[in-house]
Amino acid sequence: MPDNAQLLLLDRDVVESLSSPDDVLEAVREAFVLHSRREGRIFPVVRQALATGGVFGIKAGDVSSQNLLGFKAAGLWPGNRQLGGDTHQATIMLIDPATGRPTCILDGNAVTTLRTGAAGGLGLLQLARPDSSTACVFGTGVQARAQLSYALRLMPTLKAVRYVTSAGQRDPAFEAHFSAHCDIALSSDRNASVAESDVVITTTPGRGALFDLDAVQPGTHLNCVGADTTGKRELPEGLLQRARLFFDDRTQAIQIGETQWAPDTPGIELGDLLTGSAAFKRERHDITIFDMTGIALQDLTVARVLFDRASQSGAGTAIAWPW
């Protein structure tokens, strides 16, 4: 057995330095296409509550034609707020499918943020009205920033953004981050803001419905990020049945996404729209929902790009990992 094998470590700063919005967008698009064509596999999700109060999960998959195999171990630890840390923690490992040896460990927080934002952007391009000009965002955290960044990048027609916080207070840093790109302000009435918006983006911990059913007007598109565990929800009862439903993966959406609350609701996987194996022609009165649970292939395609780029540039830290 070789004793000179190495394992490459890519921390948060390296991941962010090697990433670009366009590269991540294309890698996520590839993940959706691979999933639609069944050229990439996603394995059953592990999602379990812990005695510590955290939630731990594993998302894994492979693409045999690319010799791509790996997983992301991730979850939510609310107690990290008191420690001054991020409540979401994630680590990605790429593995050589021929030997089972790990080849790269990456900071999964940065990858998750980027790939989820890109997935939301693709959802908007496929599902939202092309002339959408107003948006309402629930939350101002890391994922809210990622979602809104891609939304503004990919839909230049978006000009006015209202955001909702759990405490109903302004977030000056969030406003400052986007003020050069849109008219952004705190919502004074969440139902009114939803009713006035062409696009609604929900990025909360998913503790319950964020607005009333009647607030959602015909023609609205919703990107829903927060429901990623059994029991979580952000949408009001009855909305799924009124809408055209889309998801990244139907099985996951039924297990841990918004679709768990109406599992018999028909829907289409976004990748099938990208490959043309399914078609959707939006009518102006359609309400559309993208139930985003995040699939392992998104993590793996982005991680592969970063691993290749780091290997070529010498970025990251290589450590001995002998057999």
Three-state SS at 158: coil
Per-position b or e across 254-285, b if 16+ CB within 10 A of its CB = bbbbbbbbbeebebbbbbbbbeeeeeeeeeee
Q: Report the share of the chain in percent with pLDDT over 70.
A: 99
**Per-residue pLDDT at 2:** 64
pLDDT tier at 323, thresholds 50, 70, 90: confident
Residue-level pLDDT at 178: 98
**Structural domains of the chain in order of their starting residue, each with its CATH number:** 6-111+297-320 (3.30.1780.10), 127-294 (3.40.50.720)
Average pLDDT, the chain: 96
pLDDT tens by residue, 195-209: 999 999 999 999 999
- Specify the pLDDT at position 316: 98
pLDDT in tens, 232-280: 999 999 999 999 999 999 999 999 999 999 999 999 999 999 999 999 9
pLDDT at 86 over 90: no
* Distance set, CA 35 to CA 61, 63, 217, 274, 277 (Å): 10, 9, 32, 11, 12
> What type of residue sits at position 48?
Q
| Residue % of the chain over a pLDDT of 90 | 96
Place of tokens 């490992």: 93
Q: What is the mean pLDDT of residues 96-113?
A: 97
Return the minimum-mean-pLDDT range out of 22-26, 79-83, 91-95, 221-225.
79-83
Q: Where are the alpha helices (DSSP H) in the chain?
A: 12-18, 21-36, 108-127, 142-154, 172-178, 190-195, 239-242, 250-256, 270-275, 296-313
Residue 1's pLDDT is 59
Q: For the residues 94-123, what does the mean pLDDT come to?
A: 97
User: DSSP E strands: which ranges in 142-292?
Assistant: 160-164, 183-186, 199-202, 221-224, 244-247, 267-269, 288-291
Q: Report the pLDDT averaged over residues 219-237.
A: 96
pLDDT at 241 (0 to 100): 96
pLDDT for residue 315 is more than 90: yes
Q: Give 38-84 pLDDT, tens digit per residue.
A: 999 999 999 999 999 999 999 999 999 999 999 999 999 989 989 98
